[in-house]
Chain A
């Protein structure tokens, strides 16, 4: 056996072929529209259960409802993992008629967060200012975190659209501090989740959940164990788990095909002149398609992810076999 030749072959794959194989392997499951069912972990289930508890509390105490707060702390560069998480959480909250407040902790995510809030709200016929609100840019972070301790309207005296939050929005009258929030979620690709744990949970005992990219997920496990985090969605897998749970809930609650549901949602609706909705009350063919596809985004990604993982493991094993053979060849010489 010519160890030298084999080891040289194994250790010298050209970059372009590595990239090409990667491209083909990842594109194939996406072209075939394969989705991957995923097992559900305790850390994601606890966020789902927390929101279900908030729903139950709101059912039992209609005069003393709780809202949830979603902090869009990610830029489009990490939307691959964070977007499906935020979509799933918004869908869950809107399905359960839980009021949602939101803002962006990073400047690059401001408009992105708003677009997602309005797009998902459209799927459930939710009114801006009554069922949800988007408060714009939460900077300085410290002031934002502390203002929720008393009244967030001191900090966010106007919302994203520049309208006064004191007079114009019923949601802000009822839900404007941590006492009225059942859950605060930070969806981030940075370490902002730790900041929210430090201030919201550390100073005000607010229940905090995090949706983070996989890069940051391993750093937050100690907070899970210590109870400082209610739960955590880590990376695309976390997003896929939550997406799966919400899809089951949606099938149970809506009881019909999503396409028919969305097509019929605004069929007989005539928008009043002072339309409080921040979206067009109709679905085009393309919007319908986009909406349906966005419900399986993370799981479609997981199918491609599986193949990519096997591929890289194979590459590393091949490289190490080549390395061992080279070492043996060199020691024999």
Chain B
């Protein structure tokens, strides 16, 4: 029952999704109605994820982990952003909204952008340590990479690399990515059919 009924639901809604356009009874309005349910599910999914984060940090504090002070920082962040956001939503002309906007623009945005920018250093260090032209395939990959990297920033005498880069992107890269995409498209179709027919049940998670 705990797995059988959800699988039956998957089949029913999968069939609805598949035959939506073809059916005279179901139409786009039904999609709107159904997707309102997805909006409700997603809203509660966010609450679930918040609980998980809070639970993780509460456990850290309880176990007196050496980094527990930072868990308080996380809670301060959640409260600060949450309170200013909720109050700012109901009083849009107030200082709460201004504080919320500034926290988003000058705290969240720089932190988000900087976290990802560390990758620039890691990739250059990884390129130095790991990229070796051991076989002809690796050499080809490196040469193609060099040509594209030079071609994208080419000016003046380096413009020949720009022309070669253009050719590389429009011919071999297009061919390879197309082949991969066809494989992915067929994979999506087969996985979707497997899910609907109950052959693939990993989305239900483990357990009975």
Cross-interface CB contact of A316 among B38, B92, B142, B162, cutoff 8 Å: B142
Q: Which residues of B contact A302 (CB under 8 A)?
A: 153
Given contacts A142-B31, A143-B31, contact A222 B120 (CB under 8 A): no
| A22 B121 Cβ-Cβ under 8 A | yes
Cross-interface CB contact of A80 among B35, B117, B132, B152, cutoff 8 Å: B117
> 8 Å CB contacts to A: which residues of B176-191?
177-178, 181
Does A5 count as interface, using CB distance less than 8 angstroms? no
> 8 Å CB contacts to A: which residues of B158-180?
159, 162, 166, 169-170, 173-174, 177-178
Chain A: CB-nearest residue to B138:
A320
Q: Which residues of A contact B39 (CB under 8 A)?
A: 139-140, 143
Given the complex of chains A and B, what is the CA–CA distance between A115 and B127 in angstroms?
A: 37
> 8 Å CB contacts to B: which residues of A127-162?
139-140, 142-143, 146-147, 149-150, 154-155, 161
Chain B interface residue count, CB cutoff 8 Å, equals 47
Does B16 count as interface, using CB distance less than 8 angstroms? no
> 8 Å CB contacts to A: which residues of B1-49?
28, 31-32, 35, 38-39, 42
| A319 B150 Cβ-Cβ under 8 A | no
| B35 A143 Cβ-Cβ under 8 A | yes
Does A323 count as interface, using CB distance less than 8 angstroms? yes
Choose the segment among B50-58, B61-69, B104-112, B194-202 that binds chain A (4+ C-beta atoms closer than 8 Å): B104-112
| B149 A147 Cβ-Cβ under 8 A | no
Q: Which residues of A contact B132 (CB under 8 A)?
A: 319-320, 323
| A149 B116 Cβ-Cβ under 8 A | no
Given contacts A222-B174, A222-B181, A315-B124, contact A79 B113 (CB under 8 A): yes
Does A190 count as interface, using CB distance less than 8 angstroms? no
Q: Which residues of B contact A140 (CB under 8 A)?
A: 35, 38-39, 42
Q: Which residues of A contact B131 (CB under 8 A)?
A: 316, 319-320
Q: Which residues of A contact B146 (CB under 8 A)?
A: 313, 316
Does B115 count as interface, using CB distance less than 8 angstroms? yes
| A146 B31 Cβ-Cβ under 8 A | yes
Given contacts A140-B38, A320-B132, contact A309 B150 (CB under 8 A): yes
Does A218 count as interface, using CB distance less than 8 angstroms? yes
Given the complex of chains A and B, what is the CA–CA distance between A112 and B110 in angstroms?
A: 12
Chain B: CB-nearest residue to A14:
B125
Chain A: CB-nearest residue to B38:
A140
| B32 A154 Cβ-Cβ under 8 A | yes
Q: Chain A interface: which size bin? A: 35 or more
Q: Main SS of chain A's interface residues?
A: helix
Does B204 count as interface, using CB distance less than 8 angstroms? no
Does B128 count as interface, using CB distance less than 8 angstroms? yes
Write the nearest CB–CB distance from B23 to chain A, whole angstroms.
15
Task: Give the interface centre of A79, A311, A318 by most chain B CB atoms within 10 Å.
Answer: A79
Given the complex of chains A and B, what is the CA–CA distance between A18 and B131 in angstroms?
A: 15
Given contacts A77-B116, A108-B112, contact A218 B162 (CB under 8 A): no
| A78 B150 Cβ-Cβ under 8 A | no
Does A259 count as interface, using CB distance less than 8 angstroms? no
| A80 B121 Cβ-Cβ under 8 A | no
Does A200 count as interface, using CB distance less than 8 angstroms? no
| B153 A309 Cβ-Cβ under 8 A | yes
| A139 B42 Cβ-Cβ under 8 A | yes
Chain B: CB-nearest residue to A323:
B132
Q: Which residues of A contact B104 (CB under 8 A)?
A: 111-112
Q: Which residues of A contact B155 (CB under 8 A)?
A: 36-39, 306
| B177 A222 Cβ-Cβ under 8 A | yes
| B120 A39 Cβ-Cβ under 8 A | no
Given the complex of chains A and B, what is the CA–CA distance between A19 and B159 in angstroms?
A: 29
Q: Which residues of A contact B109 (CB under 8 A)?
A: 76, 79, 112
Write the nearest CB–CB distance from B127 to chain A, whole angstroms.
5
| B113 A77 Cβ-Cβ under 8 A | yes
A-B pairs, top 10 by smallest CB distance, nearest first, are A143-B35, A222-B178, A306-B153, A76-B109, A77-B116, A76-B112, A315-B128, A221-B174, A309-B149, A77-B112
Give B residues with C-beta under 8 Å from A.
Answer: 28, 31-32, 35, 38-39, 42, 92, 101, 104-105, 108-109, 112-113, 115-117, 120-121, 123-125, 127-129, 131-133, 142, 146, 149-150, 152-155, 159, 162, 166, 169-170, 173-174, 177-178, 181
In addition to A143-B38, A143-B39, A323-B133, 18 A-B residue pairs with Cβ atoms within 8 Å of each other are A15-B125, A76-B112, A111-B105, A112-B109, A143-B31, A218-B169, A221-B170, A221-B174, A221-B177, A302-B153, A306-B155, A309-B150, A309-B153, A315-B127, A319-B127, A319-B129, A319-B132, A320-B132
Give 17 A-B contacts (CB < 8 Å), ordered by A residue.
A18-B121, A18-B124, A19-B124, A36-B153, A41-B166, A111-B101, A112-B109, A115-B101, A139-B42, A142-B31, A142-B35, A218-B177, A305-B153, A312-B124, A312-B128, A313-B149, A316-B142
